[in-house]
Amino acid sequence: MKELPLNGDVKGKRKKSVSSLAKTKKRSDYFWAYVMIAPTMLGLFIFYLWPILQTFYYSFTEWGAFGQHVWIGLENYKRMLTDANLFQSIKNTAIYIIFTVPIGIFLSILVAVLLNQKIKGKTVYRTLYFLPVITMPAAIAMVWRWLYNADYGLLNYLLSLFGIKGPHWVSDPKIALYSIIVVAIWSGVGYNMVIFLSGLQGIPRVYYEAAEIDGAGPFTVFFKITLPLLSPVIFFVTIMSLIGAFQVFDLIFMMIGKGSTALEHTQSIVYLFYQHAFVLNDKGYAAAIAVVLLIVILIITAIQMALQKKWVHYD
């Protein structure tokens, strides 16, 4: 491989003092750095950074039938204040988060801790719990919708063996959201479990040995050693799960039918965004929803960051 002629090292033929040598080396450094970051930075700029500004702009516009849009100021935001569907979707998303995130994290820690014991068949368990993680959400939604089917589903059949008449899991407005939550937890446990497991394995054995010498019971060990030392990982997983849960879409889109009265009681903020942006062609309003989603996520993340000082222990 030949040096590029542009390269500073060969460019200067003049007498080189030590300092000018360092300068050319530096210039060559800059050249390489900019060339190497250029594709990614350009791509990020075109497809991610600039669109953020664009979305802000769109949120002040109204869209006509074939792509024309006009500036309407704050109308979209004003409209939000009276949009019952939006408030319902925020509530749905909040319920979804409140259940999926803590329960999901609790269950994955539980599984991780159990798998961190000296038992047989760890790899088999780990594989099985990981299966949903590699499965596409569209397929997961489809099979669960079938399991949940009120008349012919497996779940209600199993309940009927105990003399219980199962509900309409995905079409009863009161239950459907919780049915989706169960699926979300089911499909997410494996992912977080793997992260926790590697976190657990990073805890030095000496702590446990010391605890054993002190005669601490398993619960004391868990709460006094495992949990504090695992707290940075828990913090990370919490943030990631929160952000993920805010954006729930696939499961709802695939599991809840358009003619179902449960739709209003399950649709998330992102579902509503999709609906306005790509079904109702109400792109200005959709952009406003996206902006609100961004602000909410930033606030929640900031709160998390502030709270972490209270409970996360870094060595």
Partner 1 sequence: MEKTKRLFTGKTFLIHFILILGSVAMVVPFLWMILTSLKTYGESIHVPPVLIPKDLQWGNYKEVFDLLPFFKFMLNTFIVTVARTVGQLFLCSLAAYAFARIEFPGRNFLFLLALSVLMVPGQVFLLPQYMIMVKLGWLNTLQAVIVPGLFSAFGTFLLRQFFMGLPKELEEAARLDGCNHFQIYWRIMLPLAQPGLIALGIFTALWSWNELMWPMIVNSSPDKMTLSVGLASLQGQYLTNYPILMAGSFLAILPMLILFIILQKQFIEGIALTGGK
Partner 2 sequence: MKKWLIMLVAIVLGLLGLAGCSSSDKSSGESKDGKVEITYGFWDKKQVPAINEIIKKFNEKYPNIKVKTEITPYGQYFQKLETAATGGALPDVLWMNGAHVQQYAEGKVIIPLNDLVKKDDYSLDNYPKSLVDLYTVNDQVYGIPKDYDTIGLWYNKKIFDDAGVAYPDESWDWNKLKEVAKKLTNKDKGIWGFASTLMNQEGYYNFIWQNGGEIVSADGKTAGFDKPETIEALKFDVSFIKEGLSPTQAQMTETAASELFSSGKIAMMFDGPWMVPEYKKNPDINVAVLPKGKQRAVSIHGLANVIAANTKHKDAAWKFVQFLGSKDAAEIFAKTGTVIPAYNGTQDAWLKSVPNMNLKVFIDSAEYSVPLPSVKATGEIWQYEVDVLKKAWSLEVSVEDAAKELNKMANDALAKN
Least CB distance from residue 137 to partner 2, whole Å?
Answer: 19
Candidates 16-24, 75-83, 148-156, 163-171: pick the segment binding partner 1 (CB under 8 A). 148-156
Nearer to partner 1 (CB atom), residue 28 or residue 267:
28
75-91 b/e (C-beta count within 10 Å ≥ 16 → b): bbeebbeeeeebeebbe
DSSP string, 35-104: HHHHHHHHHHIIIIIHHHHHHHHHTTEEE-TTS-EEE-TTHHHHHHHT-HHHHHHHHHHHHHHHHHHHHH
Q: Read off φ and ψ for residue 7, nearest 5 degrees.
A: -60, 130
Q: Which 57-116 positions form the footprint of partner 1 (CB under 8 A)?
A: 58, 67, 110-111, 114-115
Q: Look at phi and psi of residue 121 and say left if phi exceeds 0, alpha if psi is from -120 to 50, else beta.
A: left
Considering only 12-20, 44-52, 74-82, 306-314, which stretch makes contact with partner 1 by CB under 8 A?
44-52
Give the nearer residue to partner 2 in terms of CB position, either 4 or 103. 4
Task: Give CA–CA dist 208/205, Å, rounded.
Answer: 5
For residue 30, the minimal CB distance to partner 2 (Å) is 17
212 binds, among partner 1, partner 2, none (CB under 5 to 8 A by kind): none
How many amino acids of this chain bind partner 1 (CB under 8 A)? Answer: 105
By CB under 8 A, tell whether 32 contacts partner 1. Answer: yes
Interface positions with partner 2 (CB under 8 A):
1, 35, 38-39, 42-43, 46-47, 65-67, 145, 148-152, 168, 170-172, 257-261, 278-281
Distance between CA 125 and CA 113 in Å, rounded? 13
154 binds partner 1 (CB under 8 A): yes
24 is a contact residue toward partner 1 (CB under 8 A): no
Which of residues 47 and 162 has its CB atom nearest to partner 2 in the complex? 47
**What are the backbone dihedrals phi and psi of residue 62, each rounded to the nearest 5 degrees, phi first?**
-120, 140
20 vs 198, beta carbon nearer partner 1:
198
Nearer to partner 1, 192 or 226 (CB): 192
* 6 vs 22 by CB, closer to partner 2: 6
Q: Write b or e for each residue in 257-282: b if 16 or more Cβ atoms lie within 10 A of its Cβ, otherwise e.
A: eeebebbebbbbbbbbbbbbbeeeeb
Q: In the set 194, 230, 234, 245, which binds partner 1 (CB under 8 A)? A: 194
Least separation in angstroms between CB 279 and partner 2: 7
Could you give the dihedral angle defined by the CA atoms of residues 76, 80, 81 and 84, in that order, rounded to the nearest 10 degrees? 150
Report the site for partner 1 in 287-306 (rule: CB under 8 A). 287, 289-291, 293-294, 297-298, 301
Q: What is the C-alpha to C-alpha distance for residues 3 and 1, in angstroms, rounded to an integer?
A: 7
Region 199-258 residues binding partner 1, contact defined as CB under 8 A: 199, 202, 233, 236-237, 240, 243, 246-247, 249-250, 253-254
Q: 62: phi > 0 → left, psi -120 to 50 → alpha, else beta; which?
A: beta
Do the beta carbons of residue 265 and residue 179 sit within 8 Å?
no
